[in-house]
């Protein structure tokens, strides 16, 4: 299927507050999404994800800004004329219709002929894995199956853009992981552009071509999962995605792509070509090695066996540093109260 990109330019949504003031729920958001791309809007509750998605779908009117699907500016089109379909967290199925009729509903409204509807519904049922469930009613389906019906209902309208608002939040953890791979598979198979709202970072990491990190109505960073994880632009992004040690450091000098880093009083050269001065270093817990020798010493204040890694907190100059030490069965473990040393590959120090 030919897919279309989505462009959003300087999108703003202001809600009036009870005190007569303005609240900027979405504040100057610009996004350029490629045809066939899978993009997630990720951020804490209340940061404006749903409002952004609803403006794209046409359920909410922007205060200002422009929205394009392909070449067409769609601000003034009603939702059913927009080439987009939305999949909701609540599924929004008709309880008194069976699976077949729930999926066929949108086409019946469009007065498509019966045999063509039948052909399309059967294709979609196959695609989303609901064969032999045609006659069941929503209350005879598991949560995962209901979500497949909701997805089928969106897909059958052959939209150019699929919009998802936290579609898996009502499922238990195992099923959520399974359904997200299913969604990704189906999205790739039909080659449709997808915009997916979630507050769950692992969902965003596993699904996305690119992640858009939102905070207080604004975009903090747009990037691939790898860029967002290893090169967060600021403290908010570093802290929101994964676990981050955020350490005050001083860059004392910079020469030919190397910076002299002062970290806990130790001086080391790291790959760097930014400015000198007081900065913050981001080091992920799995990038730190722990041992009886190393760069900087501290006292172990927490040592927890987590199965695939040993979880340590080591106190260095009054600051707690988190370490995830992989393959703990291969190593001698440190216990609380012991002295230990940390070291790290200088390539894994990211300065913000
Ligand atoms: P998210 O989906 O990221 O959790 P929302 O987009 O739903 O956030 O909401 C963003 C902010 O806008 C929230 O503070 C929310 O309370 C507010 N908001 C959402 N809808 C309305 C509305 N209809 N009227 C007033 N405020 C709203
Ligand atoms: Mg929301």
Chain centroid to Cα 7, Å, comes to 19
User: What is the pLDDT averaged over residues 104-111?
Assistant: 90
Nearest bound ligand to the CA of residue 169: 2
Residue nearest (by alpha carbon) to ligand 1 atom 16: 46
**For 348, which DSSP code?**
G
The helix/strand/coil state of 109 is: helix
Model confidence at 328: pLDDT above 90: no
Q: For residues 56 and 6, what is the distance between their CA atoms, to the nearest angstrom?
A: 9
pLDDT at 99: 95
Residue found under tokens 């071509």:
209
Q: 46, 90, 199: which to mutate for ligand 1, most atoms within 8 A of CB?
A: 46
Q: 48, 52, 216: which to mutate for ligand 1, most atoms within 8 A of CB?
A: 48
> What pLDDT digit, counting tens, does each position of 253-307 carry?
999 999 999 999 999 999 999 999 999 999 999 999 999 999 999 999 999 999 9
Residue nearest (by alpha carbon) to ligand 1 atom 26: 15
Q: Which residues contact 24 (CB under 8 A, 6 or more apart)?
A: 12, 13, 14, 217
pLDDT at 1: 62
Q: Which residues contact 12 (CB under 8 A, 6 or more apart)?
A: 24, 26, 27, 28, 29, 62, 63, 64, 65
Q: 12, 14, 15: which to mutate for ligand 1, most atoms within 8 A of CB?
A: 15
Check pocket membership of 169 for ligand 1, CB cut-off 6 A: no
pLDDT at 341: 96
Q: Is 71 exposed, middle or buried (0-12, 13-18, 19+ CB in 10 A)?
A: exposed
Comparison of pLDDT for 79 and 175, the residue scoring more = 79
The rounded Å distance from CA 286 to ligand 2 centre is 31
Which uninterrupted H or E stretch holds 8? strand 6-16
For 182-191, give one letter per residue: b (16+ CB within 10 A) or e. Answer: bbbebbeebe
User: What is the pLDDT averaged over residues 236-260?
Assistant: 95
* Nearest atom within ligand 1 for CA of residue 17: 25
Residue nearest (by alpha carbon) to ligand 1 atom 23: 15
Residue nearest (by alpha carbon) to ligand 1 atom 24: 15
**Mean pLDDT for all residues in the chain:** 94
Check pocket membership of 25 for ligand 1, CB cut-off 6 A: yes
Check pocket membership of 156 for ligand 1, CB cut-off 6 A: no
* Nearest atom within ligand 1 for CA of residue 15: 25
pTM of the model: 0.91
Q: For residues 247 and 270, what is the distance between their CA atoms, to the nearest angstrom?
A: 15
Q: For residues 254 and 17, what is the distance between their CA atoms, to the nearest angstrom?
A: 49
User: What is the pLDDT averaged over residues 83-89?
Assistant: 89
* Nearest atom within ligand 1 for CA of residue 44: 3
Chain centroid to Cα 141, Å, comes to 28
**Position 2 confidence tier, pLDDT thresholds 50, 70, 90:** confident
The rounded Å distance from CA 165 to ligand 2 centre is 7
Number of other CB atoms surrounding residue 153 within 10 Å? 24
Residues around the ion ligand 2 (C-beta < 5 A): 50
> What pLDDT digit, counting tens, does each position of 27-49 carry?
999 999 999 999 999 999 999 99
């Amino acid at each position: 299927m030919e897919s279309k990109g989505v462009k959003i330019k300087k999108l703003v949504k202001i809600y009036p507050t009870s005190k007569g003031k303005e609240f900027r729920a979405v504040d100057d958001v610009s996004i350029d999404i490629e045809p066939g791309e899978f993009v997630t809007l990720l951020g804490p509750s209340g940061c404006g994800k749903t409002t952004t998605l609803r403006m794209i779908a046409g359920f909410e009117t922007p205060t200002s800004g422009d929205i394009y699907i392909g070449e067409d500016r769609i601000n003034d089109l009603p939702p059913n004329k927009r080439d987009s379909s939305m999949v909701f967290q609540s599924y929004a199925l008709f309880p008194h219709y069976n699976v077949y009729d729930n999926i066929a509903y949108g086409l019946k409204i469009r007065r498509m002929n019966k045999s063509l509807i039948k052909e399309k519904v059967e294709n979609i049922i196959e695609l989303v894995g609901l064969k032999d469930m045609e006659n069941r009613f929503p209350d005879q389906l598991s949560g995962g199956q209901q979500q497949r019906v909701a997805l089928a209902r969106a897909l059958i309208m052959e939209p150019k853009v699929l919009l998802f608002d936290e579609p898996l939040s009502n499922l238990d953890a195992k099923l959520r992981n399974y359904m997200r791979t299913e969604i990704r598979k189906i999205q790739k198979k039909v080659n449709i552009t997808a915009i997916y709202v979630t507050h769950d970072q692992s969902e965003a990491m596993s699904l996305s071509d690119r992640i858009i990190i939102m905070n207080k109505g604004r975009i903090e960073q747009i990037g691939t999962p790898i860029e967002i994880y290893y090169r967060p632009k600021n403290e908010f992004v570093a802290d929101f995605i994964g676990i981050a040690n955020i350490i005050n450091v001083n860059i004392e000098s910079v020469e030919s792509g190397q910076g002299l880093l002062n970290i806990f009083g130790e001086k080391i050269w790291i790959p760097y070509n930014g400015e000198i001065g007081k900065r913050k270093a981001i080091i992920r817990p799995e990038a730190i090695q722990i041992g009886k020798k190393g760069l900087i010493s501290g006292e172990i204040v927490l040592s927890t066996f987590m199965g695939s890694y040993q979880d340590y907190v080591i106190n260095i100059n009054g600051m707690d540093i988190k370490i995830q030490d992989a393959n703990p069965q291969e190593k001698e473990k440190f216990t609380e109260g012991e002295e230990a040393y940390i070291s790290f590959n200088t390539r894994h120090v990211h300065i913000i």
